[in-house]
Amino acid sequence: MNKKINVAVIFGGKSGEHEISLKSAKQAMDALDKEKYNIIPIAITKGGQWLIGKIGNKYMETNFPNAQKEGGITLEQSQRLVIEKEGGKNINNFYQGGEEENEIDIVLPIGHGTYLEDGKLQGMLDMLGIPYVFSGALASALAMNKKKTKIIAKSVGLKIAKDVIVLRNKKFNLEKIIAKLNLPIVVKPAELGSSVGTSLASTKEELAEGIKTALEYGEEVLLEQFIQGRELTVAVMGDKSPKALPVIEIIPQVSGWFDYRAKYEKGGSKEVCPAEIPEEIRKKIQKYAVKIFKAIGCLDLARADFIWDKNDGKLYFLEINTIPGMTGTSLAPQAAAATGINFSKYLDKLISGALKRAKDLI
C-alpha cells in the first residue's frame, strides 16, 4: 500500500480575509481524499499564532460558525486557544500544538490577503525547504499589489483602466482625482482581495469616505476608473504550459457590482459557466489570462478578472488572484468542474503538480 502524503493545510491569518480563508479551507479539507492524504491543519490566529494539528482542527471547529460573515470572528475569539508564554516574540510563542509526528510533504496554503497570499508565507516555506502549492514568493507579491500587476499587464499588451494611487499620510486632491477618473470611482486597498475595504464612490463625499476606509487596510489605496460592462473571469492551471479553463461570467444579484456581499452571500451573484459570449471574446480573454499568468510568473493555479466594456467592446484587465477561492462553488473549481474535474480531483491535480515540480528541483 502506498504511503499517504502528509498535506499541511494552512488557513486563517492576520488579514481582513481570515473568515473567507476558513470557509475555503474547511471545504478543501473535507474534499481531500482521506485514502491518499493525511491532513495536518495549521490555523493561524488573527494575532499571528500558529495552531498545529489537533489544536488547529479545534480552531476550525470553534470558529467556523462565525466565519460566515466579514469580521465575524473577533480578535478575542481568535486568540482563545492560544497559550500565552513569557518572552515576547520568541518563535515558540507563535507555535502551539505540533504534536504531529509526520513530516510535512507539502503545504496547501488556503489563505487570502496579507501574510498568506502576498509572498511572505511562500518565502518562509522556501527557506525551510518545504514544497507548497501555488505561486512562489515573487509572483505572489507582485499579484498581491494591484497597481504593480496592472503595470506588468500593460507591458504585455493588456488594456487597463485609468487609476490613481493614494498613500497614507500623503496629501491628495479629490477634485483632481475626479477630473482624471470621473465619477463613479472604484476605491480599493492596493493589497487585499475579496472586495474587503472596497467601495464604489458616486460623490466626492463617498470618495473621501471610501479612501478613509480603504486606508484602514494598508498604506496604499488604488482609485480606479469604473468601467460599466460584463464581469468575466478565467482560471489558468499549470506551470510550464499553463492552460485556461472555461470563462465564467459573474452577474451580481444583491448589489450593482461584484462587492463582498455579491461574492459571499447566498444568492449574491449568478455565475454563468461557461459564459455566454462570442467565440472571439472567449479566445481573446483566455489568451490574455495565460499571458498575464506567465508574465507574473504564476504556478499551478490563478484566476484573472476582466471587464468587457459595454461601450467600446474592449476587454479591461482588473487583477489576478494567486490563491483564488477554494470552496466547491468558488469560481476556479466551477470552471474545472465544467471540464469534468470534480473538486476532489481538482485538489489532487494541484497537489500532484506541485509535488512533481518539487521533485524535479531536487
pLDDT digits (tens, 9 = 90+) for 174-183: 999 999 999 9
Mean per-residue pLDDT, 238-249: 92
Do 98 and 11 sit in the same domain of this protein?
Answer: yes
Boundary-marking domain end, from 174, 198, 225: 225
* pLDDT tens profile 206-232: 999 999 998 988 888 999 999 999 999
* Residue 268: count of CB within 10 angstroms of its CB: 17
Check residue 166 and give its pLDDT: 93
- 354 assigned to some structural domain: yes
pLDDT at 145 exceeding the cut of 60: yes
Do 291 and 171 sit in the same domain of this protein?
Answer: no
Boundary-marking domain end, from 178, 198, 225: 225
Check residue 162 and give its pLDDT: 94
Which one, of 252, 273, 271, lies nearest residue 262 by Cα?
252
The domain total for the chain is: 3
Do 292 and 152 sit in the same domain of this protein?
Answer: yes
- 128 assigned to some structural domain: no
Check residue 245 and give its pLDDT: 93
**pTM (2 decimals)?**
0.87
Kindly tell me the burial class for residue 213, based on how many C-beta atoms sit within 10 Å of its own C-beta (0-12, 13-18, 19 or more): middle
- 275 assigned to some structural domain: yes
Mean pLDDT of the chain: 87
Q: CATH no. for residue 260?
A: 3.30.470.20
* pLDDT tens profile 321-345: 999 888 766 788 888 888 888 889 9
What range does the domain containing 235 cover?
Answer: 143-160+228-358
Do 26 and 94 sit in the same domain of this protein?
Answer: yes
Do 191 and 259 sit in the same domain of this protein?
Answer: no
Do 194 and 263 sit in the same domain of this protein?
Answer: no
- 130 assigned to some structural domain: no
Kindly tell me the burial class for residue 15, based on how many C-beta atoms sit within 10 Å of its own C-beta (0-12, 13-18, 19 or more): buried
- 285 assigned to some structural domain: yes
Do 88 and 42 sit in the same domain of this protein?
Answer: yes
- 243 assigned to some structural domain: yes
Indicate the range of 53-67, 77-91, 278-292 predicted with least confidence. 77-91
Q: What angle do CA 178, 181, 187 make, to 5 degrees?
A: 85
**pLDDT band, residue 266 (cuts 50/70/90):** low
**Which tops the pLDDT comparison, 217 or 26?**
26
Do 208 and 232 sit in the same domain of this protein?
Answer: no
Do 148 and 168 sit in the same domain of this protein?
Answer: no
pLDDT at 61 exceeding the cut of 90: yes
Check residue 269 and give its pLDDT: 67
Q: CATH no. for residue 32?
A: 3.40.50.20
- 126 assigned to some structural domain: no
pLDDT at 288 exceeding the cut of 60: yes
The residues that bridge with 167 in the sheet, in sequence order, are 220
Do 211 and 269 sit in the same domain of this protein?
Answer: no
Do 251 and 313 sit in the same domain of this protein?
Answer: yes
Boundary-marking domain end, from 225, 240, 275: 225
Q: CATH no. for residue 193?
A: 3.30.1490.20
**Own/partner pairs, 145-153, CB within 8 angstroms, 24+ separation:** 145/190, 145/191, 145/220, 146/188, 146/190, 146/191, 146/222, 146/319, 147/190, 147/220, 147/222, 149/292, 149/296, 149/319, 149/320, 150/317, 150/319, 152/292, 152/295, 152/296, 153/292, 153/295, 153/317
Do 66 and 102 sit in the same domain of this protein?
Answer: yes
- 135 assigned to some structural domain: no
